[in-house]
Amino acid sequence: MRFSDKNMNHEGQQFYYNQGKTYWWIRSKYDVVLSLIERFCAENIRARATSFTILDVGCGPGNILDWLKEYGRVIGNDTSEEARDFVKQRGMETVDGDIAGKGIPLPDGSCALITMIDALEHMEDDRRALVEVKRLLRDKGQVVITVPAYMALWGAHDVKYGHYRRYVRSELVKKLQEAGFLVEKATYIQPLFLPVMYVFRAFKRWRKQETDDFVSVPPWLNGMLLRVLASERHWLRFLSFPFGPTMIVIARKP
Protein backbone atom coordinates (compact mmCIF):
# COMPACT_ATOMS: atom_id res chain seq x y z
CA MET A 1 0.00 0.00 0.00
CA ARG A 2 1.19 3.51 -0.79
CA PHE A 3 0.06 6.39 1.40
CA SER A 4 -0.11 9.95 0.08
CA ASP A 5 -2.53 11.61 2.48
CA LYS A 6 -1.75 15.32 2.26
CA ASN A 7 -2.63 15.71 5.94
CA MET A 8 -0.32 12.94 7.15
CA ASN A 9 2.39 14.36 9.42
CA HIS A 10 5.98 13.18 9.85
CA GLU A 11 5.00 10.57 12.45
CA GLY A 12 2.43 9.15 10.04
CA GLN A 13 5.00 8.94 7.24
CA GLN A 14 7.40 7.18 9.62
CA PHE A 15 4.72 4.70 10.64
CA TYR A 16 3.90 3.73 7.07
CA TYR A 17 7.55 3.65 6.13
CA ASN A 18 8.05 1.09 8.89
CA GLN A 19 4.99 -0.84 7.70
CA GLY A 20 6.52 -1.04 4.24
CA LYS A 21 9.63 -2.63 5.72
CA THR A 22 7.94 -5.24 7.88
CA TYR A 23 4.16 -5.65 7.45
CA TRP A 24 3.49 -8.89 5.59
CA TRP A 25 0.96 -7.59 3.05
CA ILE A 26 3.01 -4.56 1.99
CA ARG A 27 6.54 -5.94 2.20
CA SER A 28 5.70 -9.09 0.25
CA LYS A 29 4.23 -6.95 -2.54
CA TYR A 30 7.42 -4.92 -2.70
CA ASP A 31 9.48 -8.12 -2.88
CA VAL A 32 7.40 -9.36 -5.82
CA VAL A 33 7.56 -6.00 -7.60
CA LEU A 34 11.34 -5.75 -7.24
CA SER A 35 11.81 -9.30 -8.48
CA LEU A 36 9.75 -8.55 -11.60
CA ILE A 37 11.67 -5.32 -12.18
CA GLU A 38 14.93 -7.27 -12.12
CA ARG A 39 13.46 -9.87 -14.48
CA PHE A 40 11.71 -7.64 -17.04
CA CYS A 41 13.39 -4.22 -16.73
CA ALA A 42 17.07 -5.14 -16.58
CA GLU A 43 18.06 -2.85 -19.46
CA ASN A 44 16.39 0.19 -17.97
CA ILE A 45 17.42 -0.22 -14.34
CA ARG A 46 21.02 -0.56 -15.44
CA ALA A 47 21.00 2.66 -17.48
CA ARG A 48 23.13 4.26 -14.74
CA ALA A 49 25.86 5.24 -17.18
CA THR A 50 23.45 7.57 -18.97
CA SER A 51 21.53 10.64 -17.90
CA PHE A 52 18.28 8.67 -17.50
CA THR A 53 16.36 8.63 -14.24
CA ILE A 54 14.21 6.17 -12.31
CA LEU A 55 11.08 8.00 -11.14
CA ASP A 56 8.74 6.69 -8.45
CA VAL A 57 5.33 8.35 -8.80
CA GLY A 58 3.29 8.48 -5.60
CA CYS A 59 6.41 7.62 -3.64
CA GLY A 60 4.88 8.10 -0.18
CA PRO A 61 7.60 7.69 2.47
CA GLY A 62 9.97 6.22 -0.12
CA ASN A 63 10.21 2.47 0.48
CA ILE A 64 10.66 1.58 -3.19
CA LEU A 65 13.27 4.32 -3.60
CA ASP A 66 15.40 2.62 -0.93
CA TRP A 67 15.72 -0.47 -3.10
CA LEU A 68 15.95 1.21 -6.50
CA LYS A 69 18.66 3.70 -5.59
CA GLU A 70 21.35 1.05 -6.07
CA TYR A 71 20.65 1.28 -9.81
CA GLY A 72 21.48 4.95 -10.15
CA ARG A 73 19.63 8.25 -9.93
CA VAL A 74 16.19 7.93 -8.38
CA ILE A 75 13.59 10.65 -7.87
CA GLY A 76 10.45 10.45 -5.76
CA ASN A 77 7.27 12.26 -6.73
CA ASP A 78 4.26 12.75 -4.50
CA THR A 79 1.51 15.35 -4.23
CA SER A 80 2.02 15.25 -0.45
CA GLU A 81 4.56 17.81 0.76
CA GLU A 82 4.99 15.81 3.98
CA ALA A 83 5.89 12.72 1.97
CA ARG A 84 8.42 14.62 -0.15
CA ASP A 85 9.97 16.18 2.96
CA PHE A 86 10.24 12.76 4.60
CA VAL A 87 12.03 11.38 1.54
CA LYS A 88 14.37 14.38 1.30
CA GLN A 89 15.27 14.06 4.99
CA ARG A 90 16.58 10.61 4.18
CA GLY A 91 18.87 12.05 1.53
CA MET A 92 16.96 11.35 -1.68
CA GLU A 93 15.78 13.62 -4.45
CA THR A 94 12.13 14.55 -5.01
CA VAL A 95 10.13 16.48 -7.56
CA ASP A 96 6.79 18.24 -7.13
CA GLY A 97 3.95 17.94 -9.63
CA ASP A 98 0.73 16.04 -10.28
CA ILE A 99 1.11 13.44 -13.01
CA ALA A 100 -2.66 13.31 -13.53
CA GLY A 101 -2.99 17.11 -13.50
CA LYS A 102 -0.50 19.70 -14.70
CA GLY A 103 2.21 17.08 -15.03
CA ILE A 104 5.70 16.62 -13.59
CA PRO A 105 8.40 19.21 -14.41
CA LEU A 106 10.94 16.85 -15.95
CA PRO A 107 12.04 16.87 -19.62
CA ASP A 108 10.51 14.64 -22.28
CA GLY A 109 12.17 11.24 -22.41
CA SER A 110 14.20 11.79 -19.26
CA CYS A 111 13.19 8.59 -17.43
CA ALA A 112 14.34 5.04 -18.10
CA LEU A 113 11.88 3.51 -15.64
CA ILE A 114 8.80 4.82 -13.85
CA THR A 115 7.20 2.96 -10.95
CA MET A 116 3.64 3.61 -9.78
CA ILE A 117 3.11 1.32 -6.80
CA ASP A 118 -0.48 1.62 -5.54
CA ALA A 119 -0.72 5.10 -7.03
CA LEU A 120 -2.92 5.01 -10.14
CA GLU A 121 -6.10 4.21 -8.21
CA HIS A 122 -5.66 7.52 -6.36
CA MET A 123 -5.89 9.50 -9.62
CA GLU A 124 -9.24 10.65 -10.91
CA ASP A 125 -7.94 10.96 -14.48
CA ASP A 126 -5.83 7.83 -14.83
CA ARG A 127 -5.72 8.11 -18.62
CA ARG A 128 -4.11 11.53 -18.39
CA ALA A 129 -1.56 10.14 -15.96
CA LEU A 130 -0.57 7.39 -18.40
CA VAL A 131 -0.11 9.91 -21.22
CA GLU A 132 2.23 11.92 -18.96
CA VAL A 133 4.12 8.74 -18.07
CA LYS A 134 4.70 8.10 -21.76
CA ARG A 135 6.01 11.65 -22.25
CA LEU A 136 8.50 11.23 -19.44
CA LEU A 137 9.85 7.87 -20.61
CA ARG A 138 12.67 7.45 -23.06
CA ASP A 139 12.11 5.24 -26.11
CA LYS A 140 11.88 1.64 -24.85
CA GLY A 141 11.51 2.95 -21.29
CA GLN A 142 9.15 1.04 -19.00
CA VAL A 143 6.47 1.67 -16.41
CA VAL A 144 5.68 -0.72 -13.55
CA ILE A 145 2.21 -0.34 -12.04
CA THR A 146 0.44 -2.04 -9.15
CA VAL A 147 -3.24 -1.46 -8.42
CA PRO A 148 -5.97 -3.05 -6.31
CA ALA A 149 -8.25 -5.41 -8.22
CA TYR A 150 -12.02 -5.97 -8.49
CA MET A 151 -14.69 -3.45 -7.57
CA ALA A 152 -16.44 -6.34 -5.79
CA LEU A 153 -13.78 -5.88 -3.11
CA TRP A 154 -14.50 -2.16 -2.70
CA GLY A 155 -14.66 -1.20 0.96
CA ALA A 156 -13.89 1.27 3.72
CA HIS A 157 -10.16 0.81 3.16
CA ASP A 158 -10.50 2.17 -0.39
CA VAL A 159 -12.55 5.11 0.81
CA LYS A 160 -10.18 5.96 3.65
CA TYR A 161 -7.14 6.08 1.39
CA GLY A 162 -8.74 8.03 -1.43
CA HIS A 163 -9.15 5.42 -4.14
CA TYR A 164 -11.25 6.21 -7.19
CA ARG A 165 -11.51 2.64 -8.45
CA ARG A 166 -10.25 -0.93 -8.37
CA TYR A 167 -9.23 -2.52 -11.67
CA VAL A 168 -9.56 -5.67 -13.70
CA ARG A 169 -6.70 -6.71 -15.95
CA SER A 170 -8.46 -6.09 -19.27
CA GLU A 171 -9.36 -2.53 -18.22
CA LEU A 172 -5.84 -1.49 -17.27
CA VAL A 173 -4.27 -3.21 -20.27
CA LYS A 174 -6.69 -1.39 -22.58
CA LYS A 175 -5.91 1.99 -21.00
CA LEU A 176 -2.18 1.40 -21.40
CA GLN A 177 -2.60 0.35 -25.02
CA GLU A 178 -4.74 3.40 -25.74
CA ALA A 179 -1.96 5.56 -24.29
CA GLY A 180 0.48 3.94 -26.73
CA PHE A 181 2.21 1.34 -24.56
CA LEU A 182 3.16 -2.23 -25.30
CA VAL A 183 2.11 -4.41 -22.36
CA GLU A 184 4.80 -6.95 -21.49
CA LYS A 185 3.50 -8.44 -18.24
CA ALA A 186 0.04 -8.28 -16.67
CA THR A 187 -0.68 -10.53 -13.73
CA TYR A 188 -2.73 -10.68 -10.59
CA ILE A 189 -0.92 -11.56 -7.37
CA GLN A 190 -1.87 -12.93 -3.94
CA PRO A 191 -4.50 -15.32 -5.40
CA LEU A 192 -4.76 -17.44 -2.24
CA PHE A 193 -6.00 -14.40 -0.34
CA LEU A 194 -8.74 -13.39 -2.78
CA PRO A 195 -11.53 -15.40 -1.06
CA VAL A 196 -10.23 -14.38 2.37
CA MET A 197 -10.33 -10.70 1.44
CA TYR A 198 -13.79 -11.03 -0.12
CA VAL A 199 -15.23 -12.55 3.06
CA PHE A 200 -13.34 -10.11 5.29
CA ARG A 201 -14.61 -7.06 3.44
CA ALA A 202 -18.16 -8.42 3.20
CA PHE A 203 -18.10 -8.91 6.97
CA LYS A 204 -16.88 -5.34 7.48
CA ARG A 205 -19.66 -3.99 5.27
CA TRP A 206 -22.23 -6.02 7.21
CA ARG A 207 -20.83 -4.68 10.49
CA LYS A 208 -20.59 -1.17 8.97
CA GLN A 209 -16.96 -0.97 10.04
CA GLU A 210 -15.12 2.01 8.56
CA THR A 211 -11.61 0.96 9.52
CA ASP A 212 -8.76 0.11 7.16
CA ASP A 213 -7.59 -3.45 6.57
CA PHE A 214 -4.42 -3.37 8.65
CA VAL A 215 -4.85 -6.05 11.26
CA SER A 216 -2.16 -6.52 13.88
CA VAL A 217 -0.73 -10.04 13.86
CA PRO A 218 1.91 -11.68 16.07
CA PRO A 219 5.47 -11.62 14.72
CA TRP A 220 5.54 -15.35 13.96
CA LEU A 221 2.39 -15.10 11.83
CA ASN A 222 3.59 -11.92 10.15
CA GLY A 223 6.80 -13.69 9.18
CA MET A 224 4.99 -16.77 7.88
CA LEU A 225 2.53 -14.75 5.77
CA LEU A 226 5.39 -12.65 4.42
CA ARG A 227 7.29 -15.73 3.30
CA VAL A 228 4.22 -17.29 1.67
CA LEU A 229 3.30 -14.19 -0.33
CA ALA A 230 6.86 -13.20 -1.21
CA SER A 231 7.44 -16.70 -2.63
CA GLU A 232 5.12 -15.79 -5.51
CA ARG A 233 8.02 -13.88 -7.04
CA HIS A 234 9.63 -17.17 -8.11
CA TRP A 235 6.53 -18.24 -10.06
CA LEU A 236 5.72 -14.85 -11.53
CA ARG A 237 9.03 -14.55 -13.29
CA PHE A 238 7.75 -17.24 -15.69
CA LEU A 239 3.93 -17.28 -15.48
CA SER A 240 0.95 -15.07 -14.62
CA PHE A 241 -1.87 -15.65 -12.14
CA PRO A 242 -5.44 -15.40 -13.52
CA PHE A 243 -6.93 -13.80 -10.40
CA GLY A 244 -5.98 -12.09 -7.15
CA PRO A 245 -6.77 -8.94 -5.12
CA THR A 246 -3.80 -7.01 -6.54
CA MET A 247 -2.49 -6.58 -10.08
CA ILE A 248 0.97 -5.82 -11.49
CA VAL A 249 1.48 -4.57 -15.03
CA ILE A 250 4.74 -3.81 -16.82
CA ALA A 251 4.52 -1.85 -20.07
CA ARG A 252 7.05 -0.38 -22.51
CA LYS A 253 7.09 2.79 -24.56
CA PRO A 254 7.76 1.75 -28.18
The model's pLDDT over 40-90, given as tens digits with 9 standing for 90+, comes to: 999 888 766 566 899 999 999 999 999 999 888 899 999 999 999 999 999
Amino acid at residue number 144: V
- In 3-state terms, what secondary structure has residue 88? helix
Closest residue by Cα to residue 83 from 24, 4, 194, 198: 4
Write down the CATH number for the domain with range 10-252: 3.40.50.150
* Per-domain residue ranges of the chain: 10-252
Residues 6+ apart with CB under 8 A from 109: 135, 136, 137, 138, 139, 141
**pLDDT reported for residue 8:** 65
> Average pLDDT, whole number, for the chain?
90
pLDDT score, position 203: 77
Do the beta carbons of residue 148 and residue 107 sit within 8 Å? no
Nearest residue to 160 (alpha-carbon basis) of 232, 213, 238, 218: 213
Cα(35)–Cα(148) distance, rounded to whole angstroms? 19
Residues 6 or more apart whose Cβ sits within 8 Å of residue 153: 166, 197, 198, 201, 245
Q: Which positions ≥6 away from 83 have C-beta within 8 Å?
A: 3, 4, 8, 13, 59, 60, 61, 62, 76
Q: Would you state the pLDDT for residue 3?
A: 39
Residues in the chain: 254
Local structure of residue 208 (DSSP, 8 states): T
pTM of the model: 0.92
